[in-house]
Structure 1
Amino acid sequence: MSTMTDNSEEPFPRHPLRPPPPPNYTGRIPNTLLSIVFIAFLLGGTCALGALTFFAGGFNPWWATAELGFFAAAWSFFHWGEFAVTAGWNFEKCSVDSYLLENGSMYHIAHGTAVLEYLVTQFFFPDLKKPYRLLSLFGIIMVILGQTLRSTAMIHASTNFSHAVAFRKRAEHVLVTDGVYRYSRHPSYAGFFYWALGTQVVLLNPVCFVGYALVTWRFFSRRVRAEETALVKFFGDEYVDYRKRVGTGIPLVP
């Protein structure tokens, strides 16, 4: 992507360190260094507060405080990590949108509902979760592995990765089939899928776990179909053969 040279197309001249907006930049949040730094500050503070709550909860008789702390830390780190990885390995597509905070109202409603289910259960039905507390540890492992898989996939794909589905092949676009892509055609999707489910296991939210599973599976099954239609056009038999050898890593999404 060529950088913009005519400053008349922007309300203010671009600072030399300001990342150029990618083609899919929406403009809903100003793409400025101030916005980027401010969001990073908020996410970092939330992550630190959540981590402190998590570790302090380990020494608290009411250990459940740690669960919500871990959720807050995992959520904020995920969004910070999306920007950090994009800035480090895919700067051409980096903008304030890379934080993925503009995922639509349903995305934020889902997380809000998860917190609500946790709080309602914790304050009104605390005995329901006591026999299953150790499951939270399994959820923590799911979150860490899911985050690691997604970030590794983004780093390995580098400039071939895009948060938005690309329907036009760029000259430098290549098919990545090594590294983590040797085991999953869409490791970033699989990583987020297990990350999302892991957060609900941590919170011991049975209702939201089912809801997250259904919604994320439906979203990624549709997105995989749309994306792979484009990939077949881009790479032809090379991608068809790759698809035969390697699955997605998401249950029931071939």
Structure 2
Amino acid sequence: MGVFQDSWNRWRPMVSERTEIALTAFGLGFVAAVSFTCIALHLFAGASAWVYAFGAYLFTVVAVFHMSEFVVAAEYRPHDASPRSFMIFHSPAFLIANGVAWFEFVVCGCWLRLSYHPEPTTASVTFFTLVALGSYAVRVLAMVQCGSNFALMVETSKRPQHRLVTHGVYAYLRHPSYFGWFWYAITTQLIALNPVCFVLFVAASWYFFNDRIRDEEAILASERFFGAEYVAYRKRTSVGIPWIG
């Protein structure tokens, strides 16, 4: 991630962070407007379910995700707030995964209508969009309730103000932000009805979070962090992702 971000920093326009934040927010607002237009065209003007799926997918995957990531960081983790908080250039793997998903949806589905790609319906798009947004809401709630204790990168040294959060959604899920992101990520592929990317997203997300949670919990259970307190907390909570924890 660091190498990729450094490369982007060298090539991006020479603007201040505030200007970059404003331009990014404007772009996401435009994306939201396009998505709402597509949704309205289907609901009120008789456009096909493909248009509805495109609008819902665009809104869920681009507008909601990237804007929410920044807003939560700016409000609850101001020390982390920067243009990178939009998570648009999260990592090469993130960009590739989203690029492949858009290709399967737009080219294989919307344009070529390949036989393997199911055709969306109003009911399927609405249902899976609500599930995806509900799953992502768990991640947002987790970031809000964790406050300054939350970090996008695994921290290996304990900050003086670092506390083990066990209230709210953390009383039931010990990694609610991962839970929300896992179910959100795979459900977005059901909005688009991408058969191939659904399987790939399930596999990639599971392996990523399996490794991440294992490494993170080893650190949290160490004496450098919370030790026995975390071990006891782990026993009474769940991860919420199949076959992890």
Shorter chain as normaliser: what TM range? 0.7 to 0.9
The answer on whether the counterparts of 1:71 and 1:199 sit within 8 Å (CA) in structure 2 is yes
Deviation at 1:126, TM superposition (A): 6.6
Q: What 5-or-longer segments of structure 1 have no aligned partner?
A: 1-25
Normalised TM-score (structure 2): 0.87
| Amino acid corresponding to residue 43 of structure 1 in structure 2 | L
The answer on whether the counterparts of 1:79 and 1:101 sit within 8 Å (CA) in structure 2 is yes
The answer on whether the counterparts of 2:186 and 2:198 sit within 8 Å (CA) in structure 1 is yes
5 Å matches for 1:103-252?
103-119=90-106, 120-125=108-113, 129-130=118-119, 134-233=123-222, 234-252=225-243
1:41 correspondence with 2:30: no
Work out the CA distance in 1 between the residues paired with 2:76 and 2:182. Answer: 22
The more displaced of 32-41 and 134-143 is 134-143
5 Å matches for 1:7-18?
none
| Amino acid corresponding to residue 82 of structure 1 in structure 2 | E
Work out the CA distance in 1 between the residues paired with 2:16 and 2:164. Answer: 30
1:65 correspondence with 2:51: yes
Q: What 5-or-longer segments of structure 2 have no aligned partner?
A: 10-14
Deviation at 1:102, TM superposition (A): 2.1
The answer on whether the counterparts of 2:72 and 2:144 sit within 8 Å (CA) in structure 1 is yes
Work out the CA distance in 1 between the residues paired with 2:233 and 2:185. Answer: 27
1:93 correspondence with 2:95: no
* Structure-1 residue corresponding to 2:12: none
Percent of matched pairs sharing the same residue: 34
Normalised TM-score (structure 1): 0.84
Work out the CA distance in 2 between the residues paired with 1:239 and 1:189. Answer: 17
What SS does the aligned partner of 1:64 have?
helix
Work out the CA distance in 1 between the residues paired with 2:119 and 2:36. Answer: 22
Work out the CA distance in 2 between the residues paired with 1:240 and 1:57. Answer: 51
Deviation at 1:122, TM superposition (A): 2.9
Deviation at 1:131, TM superposition (A): 7.7
Q: Deviations over 1:172-216 (max 9, x none)?
A: 000001101111111111111111112111111111111111101
RMSD over aligned Cα atoms: 1.9
The answer on whether the counterparts of 2:38 and 2:55 sit within 8 Å (CA) in structure 1 is yes
Q: Deviations over 1:55-99 (max 9, x none)?
A: 322232412111111111112221111010011111122222111
